[in-house]
Amino acid sequence: MTTSHYIAGRWVEGQGSDCISVNDPALGQPFAELMAASVAQVDQAVTAARGALHAWKNTSASERATYLRGFAEELGQRRETLITLQMRNNGKPRHEAEIDLDDAIATFSYYAELAEQLPSKNRDVPLAAPGFTARTRLEPVGVVGLIVPWNFPLVTSAWKLAPALAAGCTVVLKPSEVTPLIEQAYGQIADALGLPAGVLNIVNGKAETGAALSNHNGLDKLSFTGSNSVGSQVMRSASAQCRPVTLELGGKSAIVVFDDCDVDQAVEWIVAGITWNAGQMCSATSRLLVQDGIADALLTRLQAALENLRVGNPLTEEVDMGPLTSQAQWLKVASYFATAREEGLHCLAGGKALDRDGWFVSPTLYADVPKDSRLWTEEIFGPVLCARRFATEEQAIAEANDSRFGLVATVCSADLERAERVADALEVGHVWINSVQAVFVETSWGGTKGSGIGRELGPWGLSAYQSVKHVTRCLG
């Protein structure tokens, strides 16, 4: 695994100082290692992308769409390999790994369609003043750096890579050092499709590599998904260059359950919102607000549901939830269990790391959590659910919005008029009503407040990689 960097159409060995150990979280053991890219190699990747930009942005929209469809088809050809790798390196259950792959395929197919529509986006602009004409051009923003996280590799990179290529940008992709292998598929596919050298570059590494990319003055834009702490560093780098950024950051999202809900159905939505990907989601609905009338019944059934979840190694067992993806994340979640004990929180389920090989924790539920608890206000990034009760719709909205984050929320109610009203009042980027967190490529993704800047997916995702040019001509 030494030649894990794809630069200017070639696979090269890493020349950095860091050795990246790739782990199986269900065993807590490494199964591969690779050398990080050096700062010089990051510069080579940006230079290659810059060199390829002119030709790539001037290809026809239909040609770019053909490449994007090729990515979708080639991902499908590698289906079992990629699903197994998601299970092994991330600890995802098979059904989750399958959805990840389908999501990536759908993303490339969708942006292939949007790419074909790009010529119609250039339009005349009517002017009130006589004697002039004006038209609008949508142009690629240029060379973009893409930094993606470890919780949804392959997926998050598709959300960035597909629209960037569709727009006519060239890219340098940096995967997470925790999950550096699966994005190699994109370089392999680029080779198989004959994608022009330099259009796609992939550099792996830790903080040094990420900093080298985010600070590089050869980028025209940077798109980052990850933690708020690293996102703030990325934003500082961008500010030094006056460079645009898209930031998809953390969340501490609410699920609001009214007392007209079917309790069993509500439990299904709640469990999915906190245990999918072992709770390692920026969109995890980790704050449960339940109306007084059904609180006792719901918490009792929710406790049983969490205790009955099958937790184990997805490669050897049929499981509902796998391990946390890294030892660092396992230690972080365990520290919140300790904080909960210090705060005297009422634990109904879980609240502990599991005594077995690998980085497993129990699905956890705390009841009647004070609003000033760290577990109520801070993003944990694990299967840890905190519950509070509410009396009125107004109280539920106020408590749901009382957060420095604003990524997503879920509303559960048989009164659809009320559910829609509450959805409109919530200060977030995406709301589900009576649903699991189904994410469709046609919709937007992103948040308000501390959850980031900009949007991905849908036509907004394409716009993020385009600049607007107006051409005005005097007729006189």
Per-residue pLDDT of the chain (476 residues; tens, 9 = 90+): 456 899 999 999 999 999 999 999 999 999 999 999 999 999 999 999 999 999 999 999 999 999 999 999 999 999 999 999 999 999 999 999 999 999 999 999 999 999 999 887 788 999 999 999 999 999 999 999 999 999 999 999 999 999 999 999 999 999 999 999 999 999 999 999 999 999 999 999 999 999 999 999 999 999 999 999 999 999 999 889 899 999 999 999 999 999 999 999 999 999 999 999 999 999 999 999 999 999 999 999 999 999 999 999 999 999 999 999 999 999 999 999 999 999 999 999 999 999 999 999 999 999 999 999 999 999 999 999 999 999 999 999 999 999 999 999 999 999 999 999 999 999 999 999 999 999 999 999 999 999 999 999 999 999 999 999 999 999 98
H/E run at residue 287: strand 287-291
Helix spans in 308-440 (H): 327-343, 374-377, 393-401, 416-425
As given in the structure block, the two tokens for residue 292 are 């007084």
Q: What are the structure tokens assigned to 198, written together?
A: 């330099």
Label residues 10-43 b or e (16+ Cβ within 10 Å = b).
Answer: eebebebebebebbbbbbbeeeeebbbbbbebbb
Pick the CATH number of 254-440 from 3.40.309.10, 3.30.460.10, 3.40.190.10, 3.50.50.60: 3.40.309.10
Is 282 labeled as catalytic in the residue annotation?
A: yes
Radius of gyration of the chain (CA): 23
CATH superfamily of this structure's domain 5-249+451-474: Aldehyde Dehydrogenase; Chain A, domain 1 (3.40.605.10)
Same fold, 5-249+451-474 and 254-440: no
**Helix, strand or coil, per DSSP, at residue 267:** helix
Residues 88 and 315 sit within 8 Å (Cβ to Cβ): yes
Q: Long-range contacts of range 417-420, CB-CB < 8 Å, 24 or more positions apart?
A: 418/258, 418/393, 419/258
Backbone angles phi, psi at 424, to 5 degrees: -65, -25
Q: Extract the tokens encoding 372.
A: 């000033």
Q: How far, in Å, are 20, 148, 280 from residue 323 at the CA level?
A: 20, 20, 10
The DSSP element (H or E) to which 189 belongs, if any, is helix 184-193
The β-bridge relationship of strands 405-406 and 408-412 is unpaired
- Token readout for 279 is 């709770």
Q: Which 8-state DSSP code applies to residue 123?
A: E
pTM score: 0.96
Catalytic residue among 177, 248, 399, 456: 248
Give catalytic status of residue 19 as yes or no.
Answer: no
CA atoms of 360 and 350, how far apart (whole Å): 11
Q: Which of 116, 169, 261, 282 is catalytic?
A: 282
Domain definitions of the chain by residue range: 5-249+451-474, 254-440
Residue 132 dihedral angles phi and psi, to the nearest 5°: -135, 150
